[in-house]
Amino acid sequence: MAVVRFVLRSPRPRRRVLAFLAAVAALVVPSLVGGSQAQAAPSFSHYVALGDSYTSGPFIPWPRFDPVGCGRSTNDYPALFAGLLKIGSYTDASCSGAQTSNMTQSQSVPLGSNGPQFDALTADTDLVTLGIGGNDFDLFSSLIDTCSSLYESDPNGSPCRDKYVVNGQNTLQPDIDQIGLRVGGVLAGIHQRSPRATVLTFGYPHIVPTDKTCQSVLPFSKGDYPFLDSVERALDTAIANAAAGGTARYVDTYAASAGHDACEGSRAWINGQHLNVFAAAPYHPFESGMVGSSAAGYATLTGQQVTASTLARAGRLASERRARAGAAGPAHVQRLAEAWDVRNGQAVTGGAVPKVFTP
């Protein structure tokens, strides 16, 4: 199956990574950064990461190509999380565009396919992270496409909310409820295959603010910002409920990312509408978002604060893995852009950006 396996070794220091991660620790996760750890973190030997593109991190330097269409980054939160926990090896099965069905079914991606993500699980797996749900029923992609297409018709109104809310009822809620049930089924499948595993279920980080707008970054009508946020919060609630009922710990990345939505400029964890082939896909996490998510996962798992030096170490290990794992450099990033071009049906050239990038 097409999964990514890494082995961690003692790396040489990298000043750039140390500086970046230390800055991120100070600026984007103040609620999770503390002075010292009260006790040793739990020990794990066989970690498996499952999920969609909010797990795999498309266009975060540097991408892997196994397969290219999954857009896995060597600096996604599974890589950083493994570094925080000092895990000797792990398997990253996450893939952009994955739905809950792709836990047990192969996923067709541009220029290849990704095997069922559950194939990475074994009886010896002792830690699993899961980030899934936003692609089921095309929830995220249809919202982004529809709301952005309605924006110019009424920039100051709420045309997207008006489309989806009928007689005071959000017509997307039944789909969200069903996603929650599907995530519960995924969790049951994890425990069946890996009964010894500790399981963490990650929610989605704060994307759209409710107290301001930035329509050049998030091209939605002013009145639709609160609606879009309400849909995300409903999805996170459904995922959290599934975790509670499925013997998993829920990682609340929405709360952890307060003040780091896509409108926050240099403090943003999430990219806006424009593709940056050296930073993030549209409407997807930056590397800072992956750092924040890994820190939130660490705090949820251990109950401990995360120090700046610990975050820096995790980032340094992820950086050192690039060469050993055969990660791509700048000359190959265009290949990934072309793969995403195929997925979204329009060119990524001359600054043109696909409207819909599935998580």
Give residue 248's domain range: 4-344
Question: Mind listing the pLDDT tens digit for each residue in 145-163?
Answer: 999 999 999 999 999 999 9
What percent of the chain is modeled with pLDDT above 70? 75
- Residue 207 inside a domain? The answer is yes
Helix, strand or coil, per DSSP, at residue 189: helix
- Residue 272 inside a domain? The answer is yes
Non-local (6+) Cβ contacts of 228 within 8 A are 143, 147, 160, 207, 208, 220
User: Domains in the chain: how many in total?
Assistant: 1
- Residue 353 inside a domain? The answer is no
- Residue 356 inside a domain? The answer is no
> What b/e sequence results for 60-83 when a residue is b if at least 16 CB atoms lie within 10 Å of its CB, and e otherwise?
bbbbbbebbbbbbbbbbbbbbbbb
- Residue 359 inside a domain? The answer is no
**pTM of the predicted model as reported, rounded to 2 decimal places:** 0.83
CATH number of the domain encompassing residue 189: 3.40.50.1110
- Residue 275 inside a domain? The answer is yes
| Alpha helices (runs of H) in the chain, residue ranges in sequence order | 15-27, 53-56, 77-84, 139-151, 159-164, 173-193, 224-245, 253-256, 287-302, 308-325, 330-344
Question: Mind listing the pLDDT tens digit for each residue in 237-252?
Answer: 999 999 999 889 999 9
Measured between alpha carbons, how far is 324 from 286 in angstroms, rounded to an integer?
23
- Residue 142 inside a domain? The answer is yes
What is the rounded (10 degree) CA torsion for 59, 256, 95, 193? 160
Question: Mind listing the pLDDT tens digit for each residue in 328-347?
Answer: 554 444 554 554 444 443 33
